[in-house]
Amino acid sequence: MEKTFVMLKPSAVTRGIIGNILTRVENRGLKIVAVKMIQLTAETAGKLYAVHHGKPFYKNLIEHVTSAPVVALVVEGEDAVKIMRKLVGNTNPKEAEPGTVRGDLAMTTTKNVIHASDSVENAQTEINIFFKPQEIMTYKRADENWIY
Ligand SMILES: Nc1ncnc2c1ncn2[C@@H]1O[C@H](COP(=O)(O)OP(=O)(O)OP(=O)(O)O)[C@@H](O)[C@H]1O
Ligand SMILES: [Mg+2]
């Protein structure tokens, strides 16, 4: 089983579509093993998006993700990193396929409503930024034998 880090951005929280997005994650068969709502500081946002430091969109990105609370999640499942990225869709919602979170629920790249880790290695780094080991749960979904 693989774990990935997911974050519902302020554009999702303020629009009241947390449930819509979490339902998609759960319905797919992925398991939510940690969740918290937090107000990101510029420092934490800078850690999450360190690779983008200096890029033209960086300032807008940090401004957006610190503009209202976010919901941080750890999501678990077989190939969870890859499956979450596909479920999220293209970075630019205008290029994202219908059926994906961004393709169904977003219009602009800055306010693309969700973040998901892009590799297993980055997932672990990002999980560690947001969660202590004891905040990540272990449990069995009632339908697990029907998912795998
Ligand atoms: N050209 C751009 N213009 C405006 N914002 C951008 C642009 N490129 C990226 N971003 C913002 O920075 C975030 C991180 O960019 P990245 O290239 O890592 O895309 P991503 O991996 O699809 O998104 P995320 O890391 O949020 O899951 C994007 O989700 C988006 O909000
Ligand atoms: Mg990314």
Q: Identify the architecture of domain 2-139 in CATH.
A: 2-Layer Sandwich (3.30)
Handedness of CA 25, 26, 31, 32 (dihedral sign): positive
Tell me what pLDDT residue 105 has: 98
- 3-class SS at 42? helix
Tell me what pLDDT residue 17 has: 98
Q: What is the pLDDT of residues 66-86, one digit of tens each?
A: 999 999 999 999 999 999 999
Minimal CA–CA distance to 107: which of 30, 1, 15? Answer: 15
Tell me what pLDDT residue 4 has: 98
Write out the H or E segment, with its range, that includes residue 29.
none
Minimal CA–CA distance to 8: which of 71, 52, 79, 68? Answer: 71
Dist. CA 141 → ligand 1 center (Å): 32
Tell me what pLDDT residue 117 has: 98
Backbone angles phi, psi at 59, to 5 degrees: -60, -45
Tell me what pLDDT residue 73 has: 98
64 catalytic per annotation: no
What residues does ligand 1 touch, defined as CB less than 6 Å away? Answer: 52, 57, 61, 91, 109-110, 112, 115-116, 118
DSSP 8-class letter at 100: B
How far apart CA 106 and CA 104 sit, in angstroms, is 6
The answer to whether 89 and 102 have CB atoms below 8 angstroms apart is yes
Of the CA atoms within 13 Å of residue 90, those in its CB half-sphere come to 11
Tokens of 91: 């970075």
Tell me what pLDDT residue 32 has: 98
Tell me what pLDDT residue 9 has: 98
Q: What is the pLDDT of residues 134-148, one digit of tens each?
A: 999 999 999 999 999
Dist. CA 52 → ligand 2 center (Å): 9
Q: What is the pLDDT of residues 94-135, one digit of tens each?
A: 999 999 999 999 999 999 999 999 999 999 999 999 999 999
Q: What is the pLDDT of residues 18-43, one digit of tens each?
A: 999 999 999 999 999 999 999 999 99
Tell me what pLDDT residue 76 has: 98
Q: For the chain, what are the domain ranges?
A: 2-139
